[in-house]
Amino acid sequence: MMDIKVSGKINLCLDILGSMDNGYHSVDTVIQTVDVYDALSIDISDTISVDCPGIDEKTNTAYKAAEAFFAGKQISGGCSISIRKGIPFAAGMGGSSSDAAAVLRCLNMLYDGPYSENELLSIGSRIGADVPVLMTGGCQRCRGIGEILENVPSEFHFTALAVRGNGFVTAGRAYSTYDSIGGDHPDTEKVIDSLKSGDMDSLIRYSANALERSCLHLCPDCATVMDIFRSDSSCLHSFLTGSGTAVIGIYRTDEDAVLSRKLFGDRQSVVIHDTRESLIIL
Protein backbone atom coordinates (compact mmCIF):
# COMPACT_ATOMS: atom_id res chain seq x y z
CA MET A 1 0.00 0.00 0.00
CA MET A 2 1.09 3.57 -0.67
CA ASP A 3 -0.14 6.70 1.08
CA ILE A 4 0.51 9.89 -0.83
CA LYS A 5 -0.36 13.59 -0.86
CA VAL A 6 -0.65 15.37 -4.18
CA SER A 7 -0.76 19.14 -4.58
CA GLY A 8 -3.12 21.49 -6.32
CA LYS A 9 -2.06 24.21 -8.73
CA ILE A 10 -2.79 27.73 -9.88
CA ASN A 11 -2.35 29.27 -13.32
CA LEU A 12 -0.12 32.34 -13.06
CA CYS A 13 -1.15 33.18 -16.62
CA LEU A 14 -3.14 31.41 -19.32
CA ASP A 15 -3.21 32.16 -23.03
CA ILE A 16 -5.33 30.50 -25.73
CA LEU A 17 -3.57 30.24 -29.08
CA GLY A 18 -6.43 28.79 -31.12
CA SER A 19 -8.51 25.70 -31.80
CA MET A 20 -7.06 22.36 -32.89
CA ASP A 21 -8.44 19.86 -35.41
CA ASN A 22 -9.38 17.49 -32.57
CA GLY A 23 -11.66 20.10 -31.00
CA TYR A 24 -9.29 21.03 -28.17
CA HIS A 25 -7.78 24.47 -27.73
CA SER A 26 -4.05 25.05 -27.90
CA VAL A 27 -2.90 26.79 -24.72
CA ASP A 28 0.22 28.44 -23.39
CA THR A 29 0.04 28.63 -19.59
CA VAL A 30 2.38 28.96 -16.64
CA ILE A 31 1.35 26.73 -13.74
CA GLN A 32 2.64 26.72 -10.18
CA THR A 33 1.91 23.89 -7.76
CA VAL A 34 0.65 24.99 -4.34
CA ASP A 35 0.50 23.53 -0.85
CA VAL A 36 -3.10 22.35 -0.71
CA TYR A 37 -3.42 18.60 -1.10
CA ASP A 38 -5.61 15.61 -1.78
CA ALA A 39 -4.58 12.51 0.21
CA LEU A 40 -4.74 9.08 -1.43
CA SER A 41 -4.22 5.51 -0.30
CA ILE A 42 -3.52 3.06 -3.13
CA ASP A 43 -3.11 -0.70 -2.86
CA ILE A 44 -2.82 -3.60 -5.29
CA SER A 45 -6.09 -5.46 -5.83
CA ASP A 46 -7.76 -7.75 -8.33
CA THR A 47 -10.09 -5.08 -9.72
CA ILE A 48 -10.20 -1.27 -9.85
CA SER A 49 -12.21 0.50 -7.16
CA VAL A 50 -12.27 4.12 -6.04
CA ASP A 51 -13.72 5.44 -2.78
CA CYS A 52 -14.16 9.22 -3.01
CA PRO A 53 -17.25 10.59 -1.21
CA GLY A 54 -19.50 12.65 -3.44
CA ILE A 55 -17.94 11.62 -6.75
CA ASP A 56 -19.17 8.74 -8.94
CA GLU A 57 -16.57 5.99 -9.13
CA LYS A 58 -16.62 5.35 -12.89
CA THR A 59 -16.42 9.05 -13.88
CA ASN A 60 -13.64 9.80 -11.38
CA THR A 61 -10.37 10.74 -13.08
CA ALA A 62 -8.52 8.47 -10.64
CA TYR A 63 -10.54 5.54 -12.00
CA LYS A 64 -9.82 6.61 -15.59
CA ALA A 65 -6.11 6.87 -14.80
CA ALA A 66 -6.07 3.37 -13.33
CA GLU A 67 -7.94 1.98 -16.35
CA ALA A 68 -5.45 3.63 -18.72
CA PHE A 69 -2.49 2.32 -16.71
CA PHE A 70 -3.60 -1.31 -16.88
CA ALA A 71 -4.88 -1.14 -20.47
CA GLY A 72 -1.80 0.57 -21.92
CA LYS A 73 0.45 -2.48 -21.63
CA GLN A 74 -2.23 -5.06 -20.87
CA ILE A 75 -1.10 -5.36 -17.27
CA SER A 76 -3.19 -7.86 -15.33
CA GLY A 77 -4.32 -6.67 -11.93
CA GLY A 78 -6.14 -3.82 -10.31
CA CYS A 79 -6.04 -1.40 -7.41
CA SER A 80 -8.13 -0.02 -4.59
CA ILE A 81 -8.00 3.76 -4.24
CA SER A 82 -9.24 5.90 -1.35
CA ILE A 83 -9.29 9.69 -1.79
CA ARG A 84 -9.69 12.35 0.89
CA LYS A 85 -10.25 15.71 -0.77
CA GLY A 86 -8.38 18.77 0.39
CA ILE A 87 -8.15 20.67 -2.91
CA PRO A 88 -11.31 22.73 -3.50
CA PHE A 89 -13.65 20.96 -5.91
CA ALA A 90 -14.38 22.46 -9.36
CA ALA A 91 -12.17 25.45 -8.60
CA GLY A 92 -9.58 25.38 -11.40
CA MET A 93 -6.97 24.22 -8.88
CA GLY A 94 -6.36 20.79 -10.39
CA GLY A 95 -8.17 18.62 -7.85
CA SER A 96 -9.31 15.83 -10.15
CA SER A 97 -6.14 16.01 -12.25
CA SER A 98 -3.98 15.71 -9.14
CA ASP A 99 -5.71 12.46 -8.22
CA ALA A 100 -5.03 11.03 -11.68
CA ALA A 101 -1.39 12.13 -11.46
CA ALA A 102 -0.97 10.41 -8.09
CA VAL A 103 -2.58 7.20 -9.31
CA LEU A 104 -0.31 6.95 -12.34
CA ARG A 105 2.83 7.63 -10.29
CA CYS A 106 1.90 5.20 -7.52
CA LEU A 107 0.78 2.37 -9.78
CA ASN A 108 4.01 2.61 -11.74
CA MET A 109 5.92 2.14 -8.48
CA LEU A 110 3.64 -0.60 -7.12
CA TYR A 111 3.89 -2.56 -10.38
CA ASP A 112 7.69 -2.22 -10.69
CA GLY A 113 7.91 0.55 -13.30
CA PRO A 114 6.44 -0.78 -16.55
CA TYR A 115 6.18 2.75 -18.00
CA SER A 116 8.92 5.25 -18.77
CA GLU A 117 8.57 8.88 -17.66
CA ASN A 118 7.50 10.00 -21.13
CA GLU A 119 4.98 7.19 -21.39
CA LEU A 120 3.43 8.17 -18.05
CA LEU A 121 3.20 11.81 -19.11
CA SER A 122 1.58 10.77 -22.38
CA ILE A 123 -1.07 8.75 -20.53
CA GLY A 124 -1.66 11.68 -18.20
CA SER A 125 -2.16 14.18 -21.03
CA ARG A 126 -4.92 12.00 -22.49
CA ILE A 127 -6.78 12.07 -19.17
CA GLY A 128 -6.55 15.81 -18.53
CA ALA A 129 -4.51 18.85 -19.54
CA ASP A 130 -3.25 19.46 -15.99
CA VAL A 131 -2.24 15.87 -15.22
CA PRO A 132 1.33 16.02 -16.65
CA VAL A 133 2.31 19.16 -14.73
CA LEU A 134 0.88 17.73 -11.51
CA MET A 135 3.05 14.66 -12.04
CA THR A 136 6.15 16.87 -12.10
CA GLY A 137 5.42 19.89 -9.89
CA GLY A 138 7.05 23.25 -9.36
CA CYS A 139 6.65 26.09 -11.86
CA GLN A 140 6.13 24.91 -15.42
CA ARG A 141 5.21 26.38 -18.77
CA CYS A 142 2.64 24.07 -20.37
CA ARG A 143 1.77 24.18 -24.06
CA GLY A 144 -0.27 22.22 -26.58
CA ILE A 145 -3.06 20.64 -24.55
CA GLY A 146 -0.80 20.60 -21.49
CA GLU A 147 1.55 17.83 -22.60
CA ILE A 148 4.53 20.04 -23.58
CA LEU A 149 6.29 20.99 -20.35
CA GLU A 150 9.15 23.42 -19.76
CA ASN A 151 10.55 24.07 -16.30
CA VAL A 152 10.54 27.73 -15.22
CA PRO A 153 13.21 28.53 -12.58
CA SER A 154 10.94 30.85 -10.60
CA GLU A 155 12.09 33.21 -7.84
CA PHE A 156 8.47 34.26 -7.20
CA HIS A 157 7.42 33.01 -3.75
CA PHE A 158 4.04 33.99 -2.42
CA THR A 159 1.31 33.77 0.15
CA ALA A 160 -2.15 33.71 -1.41
CA LEU A 161 -5.78 33.30 -0.50
CA ALA A 162 -7.87 31.11 -2.80
CA VAL A 163 -11.60 31.82 -2.58
CA ARG A 164 -14.11 29.70 -4.47
CA GLY A 165 -17.01 31.52 -6.08
CA ASN A 166 -20.44 30.01 -5.51
CA GLY A 167 -21.15 28.30 -8.81
CA PHE A 168 -19.86 25.69 -11.23
CA VAL A 169 -18.18 26.19 -14.61
CA THR A 170 -17.07 23.28 -16.77
CA ALA A 171 -13.93 23.72 -18.82
CA GLY A 172 -15.96 22.98 -21.95
CA ARG A 173 -18.38 25.84 -21.26
CA ALA A 174 -15.54 28.20 -20.38
CA TYR A 175 -13.75 27.53 -23.67
CA SER A 176 -16.90 27.68 -25.80
CA THR A 177 -17.85 30.99 -24.18
CA TYR A 178 -14.33 32.27 -24.86
CA ASP A 179 -14.87 31.41 -28.53
CA SER A 180 -17.91 33.72 -28.46
CA ILE A 181 -16.74 36.66 -26.34
CA GLY A 182 -12.93 36.41 -26.31
CA GLY A 183 -10.64 37.32 -23.43
CA ASP A 184 -7.47 39.12 -22.40
CA HIS A 185 -4.09 37.67 -23.35
CA PRO A 186 -0.89 37.64 -21.29
CA ASP A 187 2.62 38.33 -22.50
CA THR A 188 3.87 34.90 -21.50
CA GLU A 189 7.53 35.53 -22.26
CA LYS A 190 7.55 38.60 -20.02
CA VAL A 191 5.66 36.70 -17.32
CA ILE A 192 8.42 34.08 -17.37
CA ASP A 193 11.11 36.77 -17.21
CA SER A 194 9.27 38.25 -14.21
CA LEU A 195 9.17 34.88 -12.46
CA LYS A 196 12.86 34.29 -13.06
CA SER A 197 13.73 37.66 -11.49
CA GLY A 198 11.04 37.56 -8.79
CA ASP A 199 9.63 40.89 -10.02
CA MET A 200 6.02 40.95 -8.79
CA ASP A 201 5.17 44.32 -10.34
CA SER A 202 6.23 43.08 -13.76
CA LEU A 203 4.37 39.80 -13.27
CA ILE A 204 1.17 41.68 -12.46
CA ARG A 205 1.60 43.95 -15.49
CA TYR A 206 2.01 41.16 -18.04
CA SER A 207 -0.11 38.30 -16.66
CA ALA A 208 -3.69 37.55 -17.70
CA ASN A 209 -6.07 34.60 -17.96
CA ALA A 210 -7.77 34.41 -21.35
CA LEU A 211 -10.65 32.46 -19.74
CA GLU A 212 -11.30 34.96 -16.97
CA ARG A 213 -13.90 37.01 -18.88
CA SER A 214 -15.80 33.84 -19.81
CA CYS A 215 -15.79 32.48 -16.26
CA LEU A 216 -16.90 35.76 -14.70
CA HIS A 217 -19.76 35.79 -17.22
CA LEU A 218 -20.75 32.19 -16.42
CA CYS A 219 -20.32 32.51 -12.64
CA PRO A 220 -21.25 36.04 -11.49
CA ASP A 221 -20.26 35.28 -7.91
CA CYS A 222 -16.66 34.97 -9.09
CA ALA A 223 -16.94 38.60 -10.20
CA THR A 224 -18.19 39.47 -6.71
CA VAL A 225 -15.20 37.67 -5.17
CA MET A 226 -12.88 39.55 -7.53
CA ASP A 227 -14.43 42.87 -6.50
CA ILE A 228 -13.87 42.07 -2.81
CA PHE A 229 -10.21 41.26 -3.44
CA ARG A 230 -9.76 44.49 -5.40
CA SER A 231 -11.32 46.54 -2.59
CA ASP A 232 -8.93 44.96 -0.04
CA SER A 233 -5.94 47.29 0.42
CA SER A 234 -3.74 44.45 1.65
CA CYS A 235 -4.30 42.37 -1.53
CA LEU A 236 -1.49 42.97 -4.03
CA HIS A 237 -3.06 41.23 -7.03
CA SER A 238 -6.08 39.05 -7.82
CA PHE A 239 -6.91 36.75 -10.72
CA LEU A 240 -8.94 33.70 -11.67
CA THR A 241 -7.10 30.38 -11.93
CA GLY A 242 -7.73 28.01 -14.83
CA SER A 243 -11.38 27.83 -15.83
CA GLY A 244 -12.46 28.74 -12.28
CA THR A 245 -14.18 29.04 -9.99
CA ALA A 246 -11.38 29.94 -7.54
CA VAL A 247 -10.14 33.52 -7.44
CA ILE A 248 -6.61 34.00 -6.11
CA GLY A 249 -5.46 36.99 -4.08
CA ILE A 250 -1.73 37.56 -3.48
CA TYR A 251 -0.63 38.91 -0.06
CA ARG A 252 2.62 39.94 1.60
CA THR A 253 2.13 37.79 4.71
CA ASP A 254 0.11 34.88 6.06
CA GLU A 255 -1.39 37.24 8.64
CA ASP A 256 -2.77 39.53 5.90
CA ALA A 257 -4.27 36.57 4.03
CA VAL A 258 -5.86 35.10 7.17
CA LEU A 259 -7.38 38.45 8.15
CA SER A 260 -8.80 38.91 4.66
CA ARG A 261 -10.65 35.57 4.82
CA LYS A 262 -13.23 37.31 7.01
CA LEU A 263 -14.25 39.49 4.07
CA PHE A 264 -15.59 36.48 2.15
CA GLY A 265 -18.19 35.18 4.57
CA ASP A 266 -19.00 31.49 4.21
CA ARG A 267 -17.40 31.01 0.79
CA GLN A 268 -14.85 28.19 0.68
CA SER A 269 -11.34 29.60 1.09
CA VAL A 270 -7.82 28.41 1.84
CA VAL A 271 -4.45 30.09 2.41
CA ILE A 272 -1.84 28.70 0.00
CA HIS A 273 1.85 29.03 -0.88
CA ASP A 274 4.01 27.97 -3.82
CA THR A 275 5.59 24.54 -3.50
CA ARG A 276 8.13 22.62 -5.56
CA GLU A 277 6.90 19.15 -4.51
CA SER A 278 3.70 17.96 -6.16
CA LEU A 279 3.67 14.39 -4.82
CA ILE A 280 4.69 13.47 -1.27
CA ILE A 281 4.87 9.82 -0.21
CA LEU A 282 3.80 9.52 3.42
Q: Which CATH number covers residue 8? A: 3.30.230.10
- Can you give the pLDDT at residue 245? 92
- Can you give the pLDDT at residue 7? 97
Residues 10 and 136 in one domain: yes
- Can you give the pLDDT at residue 160? 98
Categorize the per-residue pLDDT at 130 as very low, low, confident or very high, splitting at 50, 70 and 90: very high
Q: Which comes out higher in pLDDT, residue 229 or 18? A: 229
Residues 139 and 249 in one domain: no
Residues 179 and 145 in one domain: no
Q: Work out the average pLDDT over 81-90.
A: 94
Chain-centroid distance of CA 126 in Å reads 16
Categorize the per-residue pLDDT at 147 as very low, low, confident or very high, splitting at 50, 70 and 90: confident
Categorize the per-residue pLDDT at 55 as very low, low, confident or very high, splitting at 50, 70 and 90: confident
Residues 118 and 175 in one domain: no
Residues carrying an active site annotation: 9, 130
Question: Is it the case that residue 4 has pLDDT exceeding 80?
Answer: yes
Q: Work out the average pLDDT over 139-163.
A: 95
Q: Which comes out higher in pLDDT, residue 57 or 113? A: 113
The set of long-range contacts for 191-194, using a CB threshold of 8 Å and a minimum separation of 24, is: 191/12, 191/13, 191/30, 192/30, 192/141, 192/152, 194/156
Question: Is it the case that residue 217 has pLDDT exceeding 90?
Answer: yes
Q: Given 96, 123, 152, which residue is the final one in a domain?
A: 152
Count of structural domains, the chain:
2
Question: Is it the case that residue 177 has pLDDT exceeding 80?
Answer: yes
Categorize the per-residue pLDDT at 282 as very low, low, confident or very high, splitting at 50, 70 and 90: confident
Of the chain, the percentage scoring pLDDT greater than 70 comes to 99
Residues 124 and 173 in one domain: no
Residues 85 and 145 in one domain: yes
Counting beta carbons within 10 angstroms of the beta carbon of residue 122, is it exposed (0 to 12), middle (13 to 18) or buried (19 or more)? middle
Phi, psi angle pair for 249, to nearest 5°: -115, 130
Give the model confidence (pLDDT) of 179-197 as tens digits: 999 999 999 999 999 999 9
Categorize the per-residue pLDDT at 269 as very low, low, confident or very high, splitting at 50, 70 and 90: very high
Kindly report the average pLDDT of the chain as a whole number: 94
Question: Is it the case that residue 21 has pLDDT exceeding 90?
Answer: no
The torsion region of residue 40 among left (phi > 0), alpha (psi -120 to 50) and beta comes to: beta
Q: Which domain holds residue 251?
A: 159-273
Query: Does the residue 36 lie in any domain?
Result: yes
242 close to 11: Cβ distance less than 8 angstroms: yes
- Can you give the pLDDT at residue 129? 87
